Amino acid sequence: MEKIKVGVLGASGYTGADLMRLALRHPAIELTVLTANSHAGKPVKDVFKHFSHVTLPDLIAIDEADWKNVDAVFCGLPHGTTQAITKQIFQTHPNVKIIDMSADFRLRDPVAYKEWYGLDHVATEIQPEAVYGLTELYRDEIVNARLIACPGCYPTAVLLSLVPLAREGLVDATDLVIDAKSGVSGAGRGLKENTLFCEAGEGLAPYAVGKHRHMAEIEQEIGRAAGLDGLRVNFTPHLIPMSRGELTTSYVRMKNGASAADLKEVLASTYAEDPFVTLLEGEALPQTQMVRGSNYVAMNVIPDRIAGRAIVISTLDNLVKGSAGQALQNFNLAYGLDETLGLEQLPLFP
Amino acid sequence: MEKIKVGVLGASGYTGADLMRLALRHPAIELTVLTANSHAGKPVKDVFKHFSHVTLPDLIAIDEADWKNVDAVFCGLPHGTTQAITKQIFQTHPNVKIIDMSADFRLRDPVAYKEWYGLDHVATEIQPEAVYGLTELYRDEIVNARLIACPGCYPTAVLLSLVPLAREGLVDATDLVIDAKSGVSGAGRGLKENTLFCEAGEGLAPYAVGKHRHMAEIEQEIGRAAGLDGLRVNFTPHLIPMSRGELTTSYVRMKNGASAADLKEVLASTYAEDPFVTLLEGEALPQTQMVRGSNYVAMNVIPDRIAGRAIVISTLDNLVKGSAGQALQNFNLAYGLDETLGLEQLPLFP
Amino acid sequence: MEKIKVGVLGASGYTGADLMRLALRHPAIELTVLTANSHAGKPVKDVFKHFSHVTLPDLIAIDEADWKNVDAVFCGLPHGTTQAITKQIFQTHPNVKIIDMSADFRLRDPVAYKEWYGLDHVATEIQPEAVYGLTELYRDEIVNARLIACPGCYPTAVLLSLVPLAREGLVDATDLVIDAKSGVSGAGRGLKENTLFCEAGEGLAPYAVGKHRHMAEIEQEIGRAAGLDGLRVNFTPHLIPMSRGELTTSYVRMKNGASAADLKEVLASTYAEDPFVTLLEGEALPQTQMVRGSNYVAMNVIPDRIAGRAIVISTLDNLVKGSAGQALQNFNLAYGLDETLGLEQLPLFP
Amino acid sequence: MEKIKVGVLGASGYTGADLMRLALRHPAIELTVLTANSHAGKPVKDVFKHFSHVTLPDLIAIDEADWKNVDAVFCGLPHGTTQAITKQIFQTHPNVKIIDMSADFRLRDPVAYKEWYGLDHVATEIQPEAVYGLTELYRDEIVNARLIACPGCYPTAVLLSLVPLAREGLVDATDLVIDAKSGVSGAGRGLKENTLFCEAGEGLAPYAVGKHRHMAEIEQEIGRAAGLDGLRVNFTPHLIPMSRGELTTSYVRMKNGASAADLKEVLASTYAEDPFVTLLEGEALPQTQMVRGSNYVAMNVIPDRIAGRAIVISTLDNLVKGSAGQALQNFNLAYGLDETLGLEQLPLFP
């Protein structure tokens, strides 16, 4: 299989690492450029010891990258840094496709970007061509996109399970309570006290209550699905003492006489052909153990004890389907490859 | 200090163990009878190695217990086994006080007991004298009680944070969404596949969705507070990969023009004098790391992004305030001792 | 690629599960028979929820297996149960190859088997054809074997790192101290109190000190390498609060003027061509995070502070290279396939 | 009970926190000065949320401390910073007693300090009066000391179990292999990549092999006990995915015809009267779960499979007996209080 030359920007973070893990075994990818400014000059295995077994290009600074040697770029940079580099790459190498795992192009409205991220959007002219990379719901756009803004990990879990319901008018989008739980890798590899083993271990903590930035994507996309402007949802994340995995428990009020079975039926028909979405049978409950290390999403709808309400549960691995895996899935689509290529790994349990 | 002779029934379970841990350092307790039918005849340290440092009576079968040698009994037996033994003890030793950590006397209505636990209530004649042992809210009854039915761990966290709000009519009791998270010790020491290290570790799983038995207590007590019969709440528990700790995130719709600040004010005045309830300042978020190994409850009210809603978060150690600690707190009250006796330990962190 | 029909005996245990995880993505394997006596009749996903995404034959009892539909058998049964079934399969289907992950054929001497496992060896007539399946050291025999006795997880880590040194006479085989650490999955999926989350979590415990059965294999193979009968080694395992991963720290006294560098040189030349053995550079220290979920072994030799001594550290994933992965590696060899087929997955980190 | 005014220097680290946890419930202590330069001006509960339930003086910078308001000082500062402040305090307040939990006064020889810590010793004139605060072995000196250099966590576990054996000539001090395992809190609260939850979790890593600074104390004290200069031992630490707890597995060669039973007998007689040292019965194996959160040490001696060798296992909580608890034990002795005051807490399990 002919190789596509791939660059990974931000290769020293967890999403960058998981992208490399998958890309190294992808039959159509050759990793040619790996950047990590703070580790420039080092072998990757000095930064990620689990790559001691393989050969990779050394890490370089982003301004040392030779873009001629790159057909596609995966960005795993912090938000606020991707817009400028994307604009710059497109100016000199307009045929490169960029699959961005940061938040920089997810919000369609630059004003919202400024509001949530506190930064001016510096590439507003290319924002319109950014496709929101929630694969299963935007597949057609992704196929032809040059700039793919992969969703956040939480939004992926939430939107895959709620957008079809909102679109069909089966749930009241103005009364959504989304209780979210994530493993610690979702907080990234940066040094923070609350992600130390001794602080995050053997304990459970809500965080960013009412303020988490992923809320902006969720409101944007559910609002679009429900045809509502300025939608507000409850979204309350919790930090869980595990490395990987994310689970969202969404409490919905049904509309138009819908039942939990109706909700499930909509999800079933939406994802009937999707290789990575598993709608569980009966009242089987999603749990992160079902998806660890894989690109699968598992979901289900459970009737609530309160009449007229239902519970929609969704789980994924935040670094795979929630980030690097979905990015690779989008890459496959954008390059005309089988969507599952390089993503066939089954979950690791235990 | 003169010693009260104490028996612990079910001393080989986690709640029994934590009761012993605390009782051993309680200045007014002498442990005289420890039962564990399946381990009868063994030294306690064979069953709980962390008691290798102390001297305790050997475990005996419950029918070997010499009730004459017991002033007070803590029951840490499985539900369905406590009613008969309680009745029996009271018949021959009516002055013994029984502090029950099981579910057997928590539900005021024997019909509800049968509905939720699938068993006939076999001590209906003494059920009326059982006091629901949620210390802070039933202190006056506990002082004079002979039979104290300590609440479940989840109900303790939920009710302490919601009952005052329901009682004051500040929240809509019919629209409560309670997302609950618990460490694995809440599932007890019985051998079950889902509580093996390899199954529960590095993963997160909802369970008993819409069916958890603690829901019965929650509905009973919030219903009483709100003056509503047949109340139904949403209560959705999740198993978290940690041993101890519990956190409930309750999503409430406010009534009568109440604000989050009003809710907080009610909690502040309710618990102003309570030594174990900590209402956090500002928008500080409760987390289980604040209470591990201690009898404290930490709570707070956070405004929701959706107008008219608030988020009430409550956390405790399920084995201490959620079980053995609260039992001991009730014991102190029932015997006229300082409520904090033997419970002064600060949380263990990290 | 033409498919080889594969049966997995003991498919409800962790090694069986990991074998299925890998086999499902192996291009030359079709899983046709999956047995689990205690779960016969169930879909696999009822027993292992992480297989909810794939289609597999239902579990059956072992005596329901149709051996005509099987070319190769992987045994993940408890020790003591594999000898009889192996003998039986060979009698009726002599061309089936059996790759055994249990301990039943590892010990060359049936007397030793009885001594360590407390059971009579019931297939002594086929024991001689069993090849000890430590791939890198017995590759030539494995290629032609019909019965492959895959080593235990600990022995794999220990022997790969020590046998070459003992064979070359660089270490004193009579003075080996092997301190071993394993994740909890090494104890299997059986229900035992010490592998409950609350017992094994947040704690560390030595076990089976001086008595662990893997010692028998270690002594057998190092004895052979060193040319010593009745060799005794120190082997002290510890249970570590993680699911997967194993690390052995072997303290060796060097002989014949050897230095740590000499030891490393021998390992380097032994494994120069081996795809799954990584000898780390310089004094980089092996850690289980380097190998999780993969078939790699990482090792290194570090000079000791005490003159004349060295420290040999080796790490692997106990369920992969320590069991199912090595079994599949042996399968590949036995069927003339590329040794790495189906085993290319990189370690999962974090 | 009259209160002794206590200052804690370095109150924002884990040892400082555990000291405060215990001191707050100590009947003879009033905490008057708490320093933490990088957090000066903050309430303690902003730095350690588990102190949200109690009232404490705010954190101040060390040069803001009013030493007149302090009778005793506990130092939880990083090594290299304690010598100067100790000297300074003694100059102006010679009656203050200093209990140092850092490494600054542990090594009797300032040359060794320089060699191991890379710093000149700047208080050599007071080094001679420093007592090595291994309570059980130096109790008489501690009673009268003004400067107590509490041992490191590893040395406490190792020395309590090996010094009596070396002193009696029952083990060959020149052939000691000490395999040590510690929870992550031993690495402190500083921000380091390898102590992030995602790096340390679900994995096991040796570190500082042949170089760990605690080796200096171990060699110093075992050398003294055995009457050997320049002793070298093997000491190999491993980082374990748990917050608290430490276990050392020491492999010893016996001398003078000693048996494992003889070793055990020596330990039994050495610690017969010691409230915090538990010699386990029979072949019961120490495990960290026996001591978590408490000041106990549990140990045992197990015969090795190799003739003439034995295995000595010792476990403690690195933050309690390994640091803050032992410091408090020494404080009690130095102030003529009951040695167990404030340290009565039993281990927390699970």
DSSP string of A180-209? EEE-GGGG-SS--GGGBHHHHTT--EE-ST
% of chain B at pLDDT higher than 90: 99
How many angstroms away from the CA of C54 is the closest CA of chain A? 9
Beta carbons of C238 and D251 less than 8 Å apart: no
Question: Which structural domain range is residue C221 located in?
Answer: 154-318
C148-186 exposure pattern, b = at least 16 Cβ within 10 A, e = fewer:
bbbbbbbbbbbbbbbbbbbbbebbbbebbbbbbbbbbbb
The residue-averaged pLDDT of B340-345 equals: 98
* Nearest neighbour of B179 by CB, restricted to A179, A245, A306: A179
The answer to whether residues A173 and A71 belong to one domain is: no
Residue A335: what pLDDT? 98
Q: Which residues of C are catalytic?
A: 153
Q: Which of A18, A197, A240 to mutate against chain D (most D CBs within 10 Å)?
A: A197
Task: Please give, rounded to a whole number of angstroms, the shortest distance from the CA of D217 to a CA of chain C.
Answer: 15
Q: Is C51 close to A346, i.e. CB distance below 8 A?
A: yes
Rg of the Cα atoms in chain A: 20
Residues D44 and D177 in one domain: no
Q: Verify whether the Cβ–Cβ distance D245 to C285 is below 8 Å.
A: no
In chain C, % of residues over pLDDT 70? 100
Mean of per-residue pLDDT scores for chain B: 97
**What number of residues does chain D have?**
350
Predicted confidence band of residue D308 (pLDDT cuts 50, 70, 90): very high
Q: Which of D75, D150, D153, D198 is catalytic?
A: D153
Q: Which residues of D touch A200 (CB under 8 A)?
A: 197
- The angle at the Cα of D292, spanning B319 to B291, to the nearest 5 degrees, equals 40
Same domain, A115 and A181: no
Residues of A in contact with C287 (CB under 8 A): 49
Which chain A positions have a beta carbon within 8 Å of C21's beta carbon? 346-349
Task: Count each helix (H run) and each strand (E run) in chain D, helices first.
Answer: 10, 13
Q: Which residues of B touch D185 (CB under 8 A)?
A: 350
**A118 plus A210 within the same structural domain:** no
Q: Reply yes or no on whether the pLDDT at A116 is more than 90.
A: yes
Given this model, what pLDDT does residue A119 score? 96
Q: How far is C117 from chain A (nearest CA, A)?
A: 27
Residue D150 falls in the annotated catalytic set = no
pLDDT tier at C1, thresholds 50, 70, 90 = confident
Q: Which residues of D touch B (CB under 8 A)?
A: 14, 17, 21, 24-25, 48-54, 185, 201-202, 243-244, 276, 278, 280, 284, 287, 289-294, 296, 298, 344-350
Rounded to a whole number, what is the distance in Å from the CA of A348 to chain D's nearest CA?
13
Distance CA D5, CA D69 (A): 7
Binary contact (B196, C193; C-beta < 8 A): no
Question: CB distance A197–D14 less than 8 Å?
Answer: no
The DSSP call for residue D347 is P
Do residue A203 and residue B243 have CB atoms under 8 angstroms apart?
Answer: no
Are both A132 and A158 inside the same structural domain? no
Nearest residue to D151 (alpha-carbon basis) of D209, D199, D219: D219
Which DSSP string do the residues of D113-159 spell out, in sequence order? HHHHHSS--S-TTTGGGEEE--GGGSHHHHHT-SEEEPPPHHHHHHH
Q: What residues have CB less than 8 Å from B235, skipping those under 6 apart?
A: A305, B154, B158, B178, B180, B212, B214, B215, B218
Enter the tokens of residue C124.
């002594």
Number of domains within chain A: 2
Question: Which one of A53, A243, A296 has the shortest CB-CB distance to C278?
Answer: A53
With contacts defined as CB-CB under 8 Å, which chain D residues touch B290?
Answer: 49-50, 52-53
Closest-CA distance of chain C to residue B186, Å: 10
Chain C: partners with 3+ C-beta pairs within 8 Å: A, B, D
- Nearest CA to B188 among B96, B319, B33? B319
pLDDT in tens, A245-296: 999 999 999 999 999 999 999 999 999 999 999 999 999 999 999 999 999 9
Residue B283 has pLDDT above 90, yes or no: yes
In a domain, D344, yes or no: no
Terminal C-alpha separation, chain C: 34
Question: Do residue D145 and residue D247 come from a single domain?
Answer: no
- pLDDT computed for residue D1 by the predictor: 78
What CATH code is carried by the domain that includes residue B273?
A: 3.30.360.10
- Residue B116: strand, helix, or coil: helix
Q: Does C342 fall in a domain? A: no
Instruction: Point out the catalytic residue in the list B75, B150, B153, B198.
Output: B153
Q: Is D262 exposed, middle or buried (0-12, 13-18, 19+ CB in 10 A)?
A: middle
pLDDT computed for residue A1 by the predictor: 78
CA-based nearest distance D292→chain A, Å: 13
Chain B residues in contact with C201 by the CB 8 A cut-off are: 184, 197, 201, 241-243
Tens-digit pLDDT profile for residues A11-53: 999 999 999 999 999 999 999 999 999 999 999 999 999 999 9
Residue linked to tokens 């001590």: B123
Q: Is C41 inside a domain boundary?
A: yes
* Residue C20: φ, ψ to 5°: -65, -40
Chain A residues in contact with chain D using a Cβ-Cβ cutoff of 8 Å = 14, 184-185, 189, 191-193, 195-202, 241-243
CA distance B150 to B287: 23
CA distance A111 to chain C (A): 35
* Residue of D51, D293, D298 lying closest to B293 (CB–CB): D293
Question: Based on the domain organization, do A211 and A290 belong to the same domain?
Answer: yes
Tell me the pLDDT band of C5, cut-offs 50, 70 and 90: very high
CATH classification of the domain holding D57: 3.40.50.720
Distance from CA of B348 to the nearest CA of A (A): 11
Contact status, residue C196 vs residue B191, Cβ threshold 8 Å: yes
**D165-218, pLDDT tens digit by residue?**
999 999 999 999 999 999 999 999 999 999 999 999 999 999 999 899 999 999
Average pLDDT over residues B100-113: 97
Which member of A175, A202, A286 has the closest CB to residue B243? Answer: A202
pLDDT given at position B1:
78
Q: Would you say residue D301 has pLDDT above 90?
A: yes
Neighbours of chain D (3+ CB pairs under 8 A): A, B, C
Q: Are residues C144 and C165 in the same domain?
A: no
D164 and D52 fall within a common domain: no
Nearest CB to D191; choose among A185, A193, A243: A193
Strand, coil or helix: D298: strand
- In this complex, which of B50, B290, B291 lies closest to D349 when CB atoms are compared? B50
Residue in B with minimal Cα distance to A212: B305
Strand spans (E) along chain B: 4-9, 29-35, 72-75, 97-100, 130-132, 147-149, 177-182, 205-206, 234-239, 246-253, 277-279, 297-303, 309-316
Among D21, D25, D49, the residue to mutate for chain B (most B Cβ within 10 A): D49
Residues B209, A302: C-beta atoms closer than 8 Å: yes
Residues from chain D that touch B14, judged by Cβ atoms under 8 A, are: 350
Instruction: Say yes or no to pLDDT of D18 above 90.
Output: yes
For C302, the closest of D175, D209, D304 (CB atoms) is D209
In angstroms, the separation between the Cα of residue D190 and the nearest Cα of chain B is 14
How does pLDDT run across B51-97, given as a tens digit for each residue?
999 999 999 999 999 999 999 999 999 999 999 999 999 999 999 99
Kindly state whether residue A344 falls inside one of the protein's structural domains. Answer: no
Domain-embedded: residue D27: yes
- Among C204, C292, C315, select the one facing D240 at the smallest CB separation: C204
CB contact under 8 A, D50 and B185: no
Q: Find the residue in B nearest to A303 (Cα).
A: B210
Q: Please report the number of interchain residue pairs, chain B to chain D, with beta-carbon separation below 8 angstroms.
A: 93
**Cα gap B159→B161, rounded to integer Å:** 5
ipTM above 0.90, yes or no: yes
Q: Which residues of A touch D242 (CB under 8 A)?
A: 201
Cα torsion at C3, C5, C10, C14 (round to 10°)? 0
**pLDDT surpasses 90 at D8:** yes
> Is the same domain home to C122 and C179?
no
Residues C125 and C162 placed together within one structural domain of the fold: no
Give the mutation candidate from D195, D297, D344, D345 for the B interface (greatest B CB count, under 10 A). Answer: D345
Considering the domain architecture, whether residues B251 and B178 belong to the same structural domain is answered as yes
Residue C82 has pLDDT above 90, yes or no: yes
Position C348 in a domain:
no
> Does any domain span residue C339?
no
Among candidates C243, C278, C344 on the partner chain, residue whose Cβ is nearest the Cβ of A52: C278
Q: Compute the distance between CA of residue D206 and CA of residue A213 in angstroms, rounded to an integer.
A: 38
Residues of A in contact with D192 (CB under 8 A): 191
